[in-house]
Chain A
Amino acid sequence: MSLNIRKKSSEKALVSYRKITKSFGDRTVLKELDLDIYPGEKIALIGPSGSGKTTIARLLMTLEKPTSGTIEVGGEMLWHMPHKGKLAPANEKHLHRVRSKIGMVFQHFNLFPHMTILRNVTEALVHVLKMSKSEADERAMRMLERVGLQEHTKHYPSQLSGGQKQRVAIARALVMQPSVMLFDEVTSALDPELVGEVLDVIKGIASQGDMAMILITHEMDFARDVADRVLFTDGGIIVEEGTPEQIFENPRSPRLQTFLSRFLHGNSDGKMASRVAAGEEQ
């Protein structure tokens, strides 16, 4: 693969999926997936709906349990723990510890509607990290400033627009300083005119942080701008991966080519079409 990716593989992976299979009843959504994510790496997951990309994130956030396979986070098994020299299913205490390295932002924000914006952000600082209230408030305020919402701290989520809500959700996850952050289609539920403000916040975080990010997205331009590596999933496997240039300008597999062409036709401004065309000429 690319130079960029080969260079990274000499480092120790932060997250490693090994032969991960996930089935819901008869339906297998992930088939023996292997995936390494390196510290600070920004990964975009693209692919048709139901291709398993959201499940990849949900397994890491411990919202779903793998049917088989293992996931390692920072050198520790996530879903398993050593017990009498063997691997046993992880207990709640173990999950709690490993989970502290992971954060997630959801498609539907999932803010706590009965808490103010400030409390949405401080709740985990105070009750999970056991920070004092004043320290938590201070840290939350700084984070809310960073996403441009310092004026809304006393409001309730229902008083904000979708884009503002999602920025609060980002601040709430970010303030916990995870090593890897999952963004699960965070703009899919937003009105088109609000998508930009959320993507800008994420771009800002990506450019400053040494935090690894997994971006599940249908925003191809965004994936191209932010990601170090793009993975295309379809039918429960990673069909193709590479740098944004490789994926968007020289897609090799027919499935990826079909997928991208559907986006070109969907894009009325034809931005993507011109980019792909330019890439092919080079």
Chain B
Amino acid sequence: MWDWEYVEYILPRLLEVIPTALAAALAGFALACLLGLPIALARRSRSKWIAIPMTAVTEFIRSTPLLIQLFVLVFVFPLSFGLTLSPFVAGVIGLGVHYSTYLSEVYRSGIEAVPKGQWEASVALNFGKVHTWTRIVLPQSIPPTVPVMGNYLITMFKETPTLSAITVAELLMTAKILGSASFKYVEAFTLVGVIFFLLSYPSALLVRMLERWMQRSERSTTIR
């Protein structure tokens, strides 16, 4: 049933592609973080001409499957716009854009958690809009979102097998190729599962520790 020798043979080949999966997740996450903030700001805009189209676009992206978006990037873009992307770059863009719509909601909740009094004090001190955002509101709204952001990074890492559909050689794709060559799928897919678990679970624990540490440090400074 279970062939340890075969495990020994494929394990190095699977470990070899971990960096690809991690890189796709990290680059996609960085892109999502970068896009998420302007999306959150645009959706809050007082101008209807900015807020409504941005809301429509983000809700559309969020409500359609990532896989379809990846196919559009890889198959439609080259034909319609003459833009050919490597599978990895397309994967990063797809992941990043898709998850930016989720991260924009995280930013939004962070921004809304800043008390009204902070805005009012900024008016009373005659700060301009840009200063109020960059020095008062965002520095207070982003730190509390860090644990939630961390969880999204883990989610995105677990989403990387979707990229196998556009031929990014990540873990699942590699396991499938190895398995199909020997018909020993059990070992290949089990190992992929174990690798994901060993990377995701400790990361999740780390995020939880970070969250608790942040709560504690907040409490210890308020009571004195």
Classify the interface of chain B: helix, strand, loop or mixed.
helix
Q: Are A100 and B126 in contact (CB under 8 A)?
A: yes
B135 at the interface (CB under 8 A from A): yes
Which residues of chain B are within 8 angstroms of A110 by Cβ–Cβ distance?
Answer: 115, 117-118, 120-121, 124
**Least Cβ distance of A72 to chain B in Å?**
18
Q: Are A63 and B127 in contact (CB under 8 A)?
A: no
Q: Give CA–CA (A109, B118) in the complex, Å.
A: 9
Which residues of chain B are within 8 angstroms of A103 by Cβ–Cβ distance?
Answer: 124
Q: Are B224 and A92 in contact (CB under 8 A)?
A: no
Which residues of chain B are within 8 angstroms of A173 by Cβ–Cβ distance?
Answer: 124-125
Contact check: which of B128, B139, B221, B222 meets A96 at CB < 8 Å? B128
**Least Cβ distance of B50 to chain A in Å?**
17
Within 8 A of A (CB), among B103-120: 115, 117-118, 120
Q: How many A-B residue pairs have CB under 8 A?
A: 60
**Least Cβ distance of B110 to chain A in Å?**
13
**What residue in chain B is nearest A98 (Cβ atoms)?**
B126
B148 at the interface (CB under 8 A from A): no
Q: Are A128 and B127 in contact (CB under 8 A)?
A: yes
A112 at the interface (CB under 8 A from B): yes
Q: Are B125 and A158 in contact (CB under 8 A)?
A: no
A263 at the interface (CB under 8 A from B): no
Which residues of chain B are within 8 angstroms of A253 by Cβ–Cβ distance?
Answer: none
A113 at the interface (CB under 8 A from B): yes
**Least Cβ distance of B142 to chain A in Å?**
10
Within 8 A of B (CB), among A116-135: 123-124, 127-128
Contact check: which of B120, B126, B129, B139 meets A106 at CB < 8 Å? B120
Contact check: which of A111, A112, A113, A128 meets B126 at CB < 8 Å? A128
A159 and B124 contact, Cβ closer than 8 Å, known pairs A110-B117, A114-B140: no
Q: How many residues of chain A are within 8 Å of chain B by beta carbon?
A: 28
Within 8 A of B (CB), among A137-163: 156, 158-159
Q: Are B121 and A159 in contact (CB under 8 A)?
A: no
Can you name 19 A-B residue pairings with CB atoms under 8 Å? A61-B120, A96-B128, A99-B123, A103-B124, A106-B120, A106-B121, A108-B115, A109-B117, A110-B117, A110-B121, A110-B124, A112-B121, A114-B140, A123-B135, A128-B125, A128-B127, A156-B221, A158-B224, A159-B224
- Return the CB mask of A156-192 against B: 1 if under 8 Å, else 0: 1011000000000000110010000000000000000
**Least Cβ distance of A143 to chain B in Å?**
14
Q: Give CA–CA (A102, B123) in the complex, Å.
A: 10
Which residues of chain A are within 8 angstroms of B35 by Cβ–Cβ distance?
Answer: none
B131 at the interface (CB under 8 A from A): yes
**Least Cβ distance of A7 to chain B in Å?**
31
A62 at the interface (CB under 8 A from B): yes
